[in-house]
Amino acid sequence: MFDALRSADPDIAALIESESRRQVRTLRLIASENYASAAVQEAVGSALANKYSEGYGGRRYYQGQQYIDQVEALAIDRIKAVFGAEHVNVQPYSGSPANLAVYFAFASPGDPVMGLGLPHGGHLTHGWNVNVSGKWFDAHQYPVERDSELLDMAAMRRIAREVRPKILFAGITAYPRVVDWDAFREVADEVGAILVADIAHISGLVAAGLHPSPVPVADVVTSTTHKTFRGPRGGMILCREEHARAIDRAIFPGLQGGPHNNTTAGIAVAAREAAQPSFREYAQRVVDSARALGEALVERGFRLVTGGTDNHMLIVDTMHRGVPGKPVAQALERAGMVCNYNSIPFDPRKPFDPSGIRIGTAAMASRGIGAEHMTRLADWVDQVVAASDDTSVEERVRGEVEEFLIDFPAPGLEGVTP
Ligand code: DSN
């Protein structure tokens, strides 16, 4: 691999090879990460990256689009088929630009908008105060309930009635339960808001039919393409036909220049993969293993936010075992298991040193690791946390993790020697 790169730039080649080995040798538990297939990676690394294509199919500002138009049309048609969408735009550079385009399409600076608070599992771009969505709009946040830690739909309705948002975001980045799109629709209709479902985390589960789809319910659906959907790093917007022009114009020329055609090709490949029966099996493995891991962690004295999971992620309150999330995440990484530290709802600790960790099962499931392996994983987590920085335990577990992973090749990295 990387013959040309190794000779032209050995420094970068060596770093890529080291990162590839790291991805092969560790249990990747970051809920927003995955392994894109070799086919997706080849599309992304192709000559399509050399081409400028500002505009849309048949209406571009540069000549030479005979193949690019076909690539983008295939990506759009396949995403439409997978999700049953009326209109699709595959040009957003990623999830944050996709969400910004929605604000640009439907609101003006100063307008009221609403989303789930970041510390309660929402996203920065859902109106959090340090983000442009919180600085340029009159952003209001709804919470989860203090006791159940489930979305507080009554509070959401009450705040929406008060502020009458132009845009109502329903969507999550750190929330392990099913989102009731219909309940959001009711409120959006009542207050006259555009309902936006951000399914960046769960789009693979939606594609596989393992989470209810917001596509028939919401006005607009935004997503990244690389999390559970397992495509390249990119974004997409699905919407009703009536919003097609507003969304397309918000992306280009409103917000972006030329689309990244190589990424578009990668999205097309991923959409084809998502239509295969093997993708459904993968997605089932994702949710089954998340549930099994949750049960096994609870048996070992951990507390899960909301008590469990319906999707690919677990928010684990590590303070229940007496240790904050950050040192737990650091110890787990030393032991070969890579997750991120995460706030829990109503966290008394600071975001940079919070009370929990977030664990996702998508990348593991892509390697074929499933529910039957989760007691082993929970034991490793338990042992590392119980050992409290004992490096001999971390080293032993790291060795066991590496040995375990030999039987589960990582998609897209099959040629990498651990
Ligand atoms: N960074 C993504 C995540 O980890 O959930 C969200 O943007």
Q: What is the pLDDT of residue 329?
A: 98
Question: CATH classification of 278-405, choosing from 3.90.1150.10, 3.40.50.720, 3.40.50.1110, 3.30.70.1150?
Answer: 3.90.1150.10
Residue 268 vs residues 14, 50, 234: alpha-carbon distances, Å = 30, 18, 11
Residue 361 is among the residues annotated as catalytic for this protein: no
pLDDT, tens digit, 9 for 90 and up, residues 49-99 = 999 999 999 999 999 999 999 999 999 999 999 999 999 999 999 999 999
Low-confidence ranges of the chain (pLDDT < 50): none
Residue owning the nearest CA to atom 4 of ligand 1? 32
Asked about 54 being catalytic, the answer comes back as yes
Ligand 1 atom closest to Cα of 95? 7
Residue 356, token pair as written in the block = 């929990």
In whole angstroms, what is the distance from residue 47 CA to residue 203 CA? 28
Query: Cα–Cα distances in Å, from 400 out to 252, 288, 348, 384, 397?
Result: 50, 23, 35, 12, 5
Whether 403 is a known active-site residue: answer no
pLDDT (0 to 100) of residue 391 = 93
Quote the pLDDT of residue 389.
74
Spot the catalytic one: 28, 227, 230, 285: 227
Catalytic (active site) residue 142: no
406: nearest Cα among 37, 36, 24? 24
How far apart CA 22 and CA 33 sit, in angstroms, is 14
Question: Can 198 be counted among the known catalytic residues?
Answer: yes
Distance 173 CA to ligand 1 centre (A): 6
Listed in order, the ranges of the chain carrying CATH 3.90.1150.10 are 278-405
What letter would DSSP give residue 249?
A: H
State in Å: Cα 270 to ligand 1 middle: 19
Query: d(Cα 274, Cα 282) in Å, to the nearest integer?
Result: 10
- The per-residue pLDDT for 396 is 98
Per-residue pLDDT at 390? 85
pLDDT at res. 44: 98
Give dist(CA 409, CA 367) in Å, integer: 6
Residue 209, CA distances (Å) to 202, 203, 268, 411 in order: 11, 10, 19, 23
Whether the CB of 264 sits within 6 Å of ligand 1: no
In one letter, which amino acid is 248? D
The pLDDT assigned to 415 comes to 86
β-strands 138-142, 59-60: how paired? Answer: unpaired
The top-level CATH class assigned to 42-274 is alpha beta
What pLDDT is attached to residue 356?
98
Which of 175, 201, 312, 339 most suits a substitution to test ligand 1, by most atoms within 8 Å of the C-beta? 201
Closest CA to 228 of 208, 198, 255: 208
> Annotated catalytic residue: which of 52, 93, 164, 180?
52
355 lines ligand 1 (CB under 6 A): no
Residue 32 in contact with ligand 1 by CB distance below 6 A:
yes
Known catalytic residue at 350: no
pLDDT, residue 418, reads 80
Please answer whether residues 270 and 230 qualify as being in contact, where contact means their C-beta atoms are separated by less than 8 angstroms: yes
Check 198, 219, 317, 394 and give the catalytic one. 198
